[in-house]
Chain A
Amino acid sequence: MSSLPIKASDSSPIIKSGSHLSRASSVIAFARREFRDAISSRWFLLYTVAFTVLAVAVSFMSLAGSGSHGFAGFGRTTAGLLNLIMLVVPLMALIAGAGSIAGERERGTLLYLLAQPISRTELLLGKYIGLAIALCCSMCVGFGLSAGVLAWRVGGVGISAFVMLVVFTCGLALAMLSVGILLSVISRRSGVATGLGLFVWLILVFLSDLGLMAGTILFKLRVQEVFVIGVMNPLQAFKMAVIVNMNASLDVLGPVGMYASQTFGGALPWILALVIGVWTIVPLVIALILFSKRGSV
Chain B
Amino acid sequence: MNITQVIAALCVSFGILWDAQAQESSKSIDEIVRLIESAESGSTIIVPPGVYGGNLRIEKSIVLDGQGGVTIDGLGKGTVVELGVGDITLRGLTIRGSGSTVDQEPAGIRAFAGPVIIEHNRIEDVYFGIDLRPAPGSIIRYNVIQGKELGLGRRGDGVRLWWSDDCIIVDNKVDAVRDMVFWYSENLSIARNHVTNSRYGLHFMYSHGTTLEDNELVANSVGVYLMYSNEIHLIKNSIVNNRGTSGYGIGLKDCDAITIEHNALLANRVGIYVDNSPSSVDSYGLIVENKIAFNEIGMLATPITHDNIVSRNAFVENEEQVTVHGRGQLLLNEFSADGVGNFWSSYSGFDRDGDGIGEFPHAPRSLFRSLLAREPNLRIFLHSPAQQAVELTARAFPDLSPEPIFVDAFPLTRPPELDLFVGTQGGGRFPMVGFSAGLLVISVFGGWVVGRQSRLPMVSDSDLSQKAFL
Contacts and interface: CB of A to CB of B under 8 A. Distances in A.
A297 interface: no
Given A155-B426, A159-B432, A209 B384 contact: yes
Contacts, number: 222
A112 B442 CA distance: 33
B269 A65 contact: no
Interface in B434-459: 435-440, 442-444, 446-447, 450-451, 453-454, 456-459
A258 B451 CA distance: 45
Interface in A218-237: 220-221, 223, 226-227, 230, 235-236
Contact of B378 (A159, A217, A247): A217
A239 B425 CA distance: 27
B379 interface: yes
Q: From DSSP, what is the main secondary structure of chain B's interface residues?
A: helix
Q: Of residues A145, A227, A256, which shows the largest number of chain B Cβ atoms within 10 Å of its Cβ? A: A256
B135 interface: no
Contacts of B454: 32
Interface string A269-295: 000000000000000000000000000
B456 A39 contact: no
Q: From DSSP, what is the main secondary structure of chain A's interface residues?
A: helix
B335 to A, nearest CB: 19
A210 B436 CA distance: 35
B427 A155 contact: yes
A221 to B, nearest CB: 7
Interface in A122-179: 130, 133-134, 136-138, 140-141, 143-145, 147-148, 150-151, 154-159, 162-163, 166
Contacts of B465: 116
B154 interface: no
Which bracket fits the contact residues of B? 35 or more
A69 interface: yes
A151 B376 contact: no
B345 A32 contact: no
A217 B317 contact: no
A73 B395 CA distance: 29
A25 B454 CA distance: 13
A274 B422 CA distance: 41
A171 to B, nearest CB: 16
A254 B382 contact: yes
Given A1-B461, A239-B384, A254 B429 contact: no
Which bracket fits the contact residues of A? 35 or more
A110 interface: no
Interface of B: 240-241, 243, 245, 266-267, 269, 293-294, 296, 314, 316-317, 319, 345, 371-372, 374-386, 388-390, 415, 422, 425-433, 435-440, 442-444, 446-447, 450-451, 453-454, 456-459, 461-462, 465, 468-470
Given A151-B432, A157-B425, A162-B435, 5 more contacts: A21-B457, A32-B450, A71-B426, A144-B436, A256-B379
Closest 8 pairs (CB-CB, A-B) = A254-B379, A72-B267, A144-B439, A209-B386, A70-B426, A151-B432, A140-B443, A147-B436
21 contacts: A26-B457, A31-B450, A35-B451, A69-B425, A72-B425, A75-B294, A76-B317, A86-B385, A133-B450, A140-B442, A144-B439, A151-B435, A156-B432, A216-B375, A217-B374, A239-B384, A251-B245, A252-B269, A254-B377, A254-B382, A258-B245
